[in-house]
Structure 1
């Protein structure tokens, strides 16, 4: 299966590195998980794309202002399990596409599909608000 073209709203399988893991010296995430691409900007003529992803997790947020619950119908459409899922606003990874941490799903594809536009816009707005409030971290995976 080929690697997809990165675009905002695409949900990929990725080895996400939480800031707490990074602070403890980890250089790779403990688990592969679905993550939503929030930024995909071409960098020069070499085909590299600066990419930022937000993790999707089963863990309910300690602070509701840091996450967005994904509706069950959207989870089903993406092929996620039947549990509740949240997209985090306050934890992001930045890397050059495709990077070393993009992972294939068991059936071979690298992506789950696209978030609905309205949900992506809520994600984007939540990230902007979190950044304004100086909540959260962006972990660079290219270092």
Structure 2
């Protein structure tokens, strides 16, 4: 699977929330679907990833999230969720080839459409520029 990680790909991943990191936690509590929002091959030859959490819970007031349309849930392999939101107020950073959390043998759940990914990309652009809500998973 690490060779097929491109924007829009949905995979299972033990996402570490910002509030968990602030409490000193270093591991995500459970595997959850995440969306690859950015996959960049660096000059080091490695694939650098930005991953957004997908949740079936409506976001709290401290989170910024976009609801996933039903058609995108089906495309993303999330049909078992009645409703889903993608958090765009934080992201996990990982390196595909060195990740302790990505399973190279596990297939992707699905993939969001290009048009939905454009909507997500415009929502997270300020997040990337601010650089304050990146949660590193590379230690």
The TM-score normalised by the length of structure 2 is 0.85
- Determine if the alignment matches structure 1 residue 141 to structure 2 residue 134: no
Matches of 2:14 and 2:103, distance apart in 1: 7
The verdict on how the C-alpha distance between 1:111 and 1:122 changes in structure 2, with shifts beyond 3 A counting, is same
Matches of 2:42 and 2:81, distance apart in 1: 38
SS at match of 2:106: coil
RMSD of the TM alignment (CA)?
A: 2.4
Q: Give runs of ≥4 in structure 1 deviating > 3 Å.
A: 129-132
* Mapping of residues 1-143 of structure 1, within 5 Å: 2-45=1-44, 47-63=45-61, 66-80=64-78, 81-98=80-97, 99-103=99-103, 109-131=106-128, 137-143=133-139
Structure 1 runs not aligned, ≥5 long: none
Q: For structure 1, which segment, 94-103 or 119-128, has the greater mean C-alpha deviation from structure 2 after superposition?
A: 94-103
Structure 2 runs not aligned, ≥5 long: none
Number of residue equivalences:
137
SS at match of 2:73: helix
